[in-house]
Amino acid sequence: MDDKIKELKRIIDESSKIVFFGGAGVSTESGIPDFRSETGLYNAKKEFGRSPEQIISNSFFMSHTDIFYDYYKKNMIYQAAKPNKAHLALAKLEEQGKLLGVVTQNIDGLHQMAGNKKVFELHGSVLRNFCMRCGTSFTLDEIMEMDGVPKCDCGGTIKPDVVLYEEMLDDATISGAVKAIQAADTMIVGGTSLVVYPAAGLIRYFRGKNLILINKSATQYDSQATLVINDSIGEVLGKAVL
């Protein structure tokens, strides 16, 4: 493994336009569980009688907003979570002028907390919330302090700025991510098994020199990669960058 990390460090040192694409595995190392895991699936079905995909769909939000928020606050919000070594390493690469951007499937805002400014949040962010009637913005803290279904002063229901199942990804976010990926000489993919589409399909836009895959398990793109490291994304990037 040490040889692979040395190779990764060499590639990073020789690269000037890096893009990072990350999934749930980046956040799990900060103590945020993947709701698609066996435990997450079991807990959702045991308490709510439904799968996570059902509960966090747009139609369920609209028809069972109270149950949605009960699940959402218990299973999707982790206010005490802090950036881990992966987040800090990526912030350092951006500070060095090597990182074009972070493309993330996560909604926790930890990349920005670590210091990254160029972040394409494919699935939105729990930190942003808005009234569906008047458009007023609310912070996560404000939402968490409200009992039941969060309501605006105007009487409108407040909705998290996250992409729910059945909803389309934001066009501007996708365009920005694609542009960064196309311009990159090195793409580092970490903490994702690359099975969630359309997000995982973005890897097809990469035309650069080095495709690095860092994930605890194998992915369908391993055979196309310059370097594959099956280990913790935080430990790997921490050793290669920090």
Instruction: Give catalytic residue positions.
Output: 123
233-241 vs 2-14: helix axis angle to the nearest 10?
60
At CB < 8 A and 24+ separation, what contacts does 142-150 make?
144/73, 144/77, 144/79, 148/66, 148/69, 149/65, 149/66, 149/69, 150/69
Q: What is the DSSP letter of 153?
A: T
Q: Is 171 exposed, middle or buried (0-12, 13-18, 19+ CB in 10 A)?
A: exposed
Q: Rounded CA gap, 78 and 137, in Å?
A: 20
**Number of neighbouring beta carbons within 10 Å of residue 77:** 17
